[in-house]
Amino acid sequence: MEKILVGLKRVVDYNVRVRVKGDGSGVETEGVKMSINPFDEIALEEALRIKERGEANEVVVVSIGSGEAQQQLRTGLAMGADRAILVETVATPDPLSCAHALLEIVKRENPELVILGKQAIDNDNAQTGQMLAALWGRPQGTFASKLEFNGGSVRVTREVDAGLDVIEVDLPAVITADLRLNEPRYVKLPDIMKAKKKPLDQIPLAELSVPDSPAIAETGFEPPAARERGIMVDDVAGLVGALNDKGLL
């Protein structure tokens, strides 16, 4: 394989307790720690392992977002990616537009494999990979927990509600990474230094031919309905009693 393309989205770190703004206009992201979407780290790790096994020559990371996403791309380069592309835009577009933008990058780069995360943990959409595969007219292997290459095709083990599914897809294809595909490596300090010299191209989103898609409007944000704080019991007898009181036994 010549090239693998990996999507890296800049998102609020998964450890941050996200709060809705007082006026309901969005969630608080000011001064909050930002990271690579955890599933995208797994996607990149997988691409790097494929390359390290000698099954691919180049790993390119791409992010669509503001200039700040350069931080996440640099982290990706420090992990081991060869090159980065930032598709620059003020507000991160919706999944269909992201998929169109990724398709434009795919047309320029001609990768045999695109690995994305299964979902971005900010909007929890889980759409972009499937949309890219559809627009590209290529296979999708979503929620992947294992990849086995065999010439021009790849066997994908997928985590599904009932257990595991195995499918075979011809390359080029889009894979979306689930949690158990691998455990991403830690970035070492010397690699961060080295990453500064690796190429990072910036392309304004407006330069790519991304069609306007009818947008889904977000008209208000609210905190989730709170559960009332319950009772504490002292022992098993107390627990059985409380369950009985609620008619649950």
Partner 1 sequence: MAKVLLIAEHDGTSLNPSTAKCVACAAEISGAEIEVAVFAESAGAIAAQAASLDSVSRVLSNEATANRGALAAVLAPQIVAMADSYDYIFGPSTTFGKDLMPRVAALLGVNQISDIMSVEGERVFKRPIYAGSAVVTVEAPAGVPVVATIRTASFRAVGAGNSAPVDAVDVSADIPDHTRFIASETGKSDRPDLQSASRVVAGGRALGSEENFDLIYKLADKLEAGVGASRAAVDAGYVPNEMQVGQTGRIIAPDLYIAIGISGAIQHLTGIKDAGTIVAINKDEEAPIFEVADIGLVGDLFNVVPELTEALD
Ligand X SMILES: Nc1ncnc2c1ncn2[C@@H]1O[C@H](COP(=O)(O)O)[C@@H](O)[C@H]1O
Q: Tell me which residues in 12-71 interact with ligand X (CB under 6 A).
A: 37, 39-40, 43, 63-65
- Considering beta carbons, is residue 44 or 56 the nearer one to ligand X? 44
Contact with partner 1 (CB under 8 A) among 52, 68, 170, 201: 170
Interface with ligand FAD, residue 38, by CB under 6 A: yes
Q: Is 34 in the site for partner 1 (CB under 8 A)?
A: no
Residue 98 CB, nearest approach to partner 1 (Å): 10
Assess 221 for contact with ligand FAD (CB under 6 A).
no
Touching partner 1, residues 127-166 (CB under 8 A): 127-135, 137-140, 142-143, 145, 155, 158-166
- Contacts of ligand FAD in 128-187 (CB under 6 A): none
- Picking from 111, 11, 21, the residue whose alpha carbon sits closest to that of residue 57 is 111
Q: Is 126 in the site for ligand X (CB under 6 A)?
A: yes
Parallel, antiparallel or unpaired: strands 163-170 and 173-177? unpaired
Per-residue contact string for residues 97-126; x = within reach of ligand FAD by CB under 6 A: ------------------------x-----
- 118, 143 contact by CB (below 8 A): yes
Query: 34 and 13 in contact (C-beta within 8 Å)?
Result: yes
Secondary structure of residue 103 in the 3-state scheme: helix
User: How far from 123 is each of 14, 69, 119, 126, 137, CA to CA, in Å?
Assistant: 12, 17, 8, 8, 25
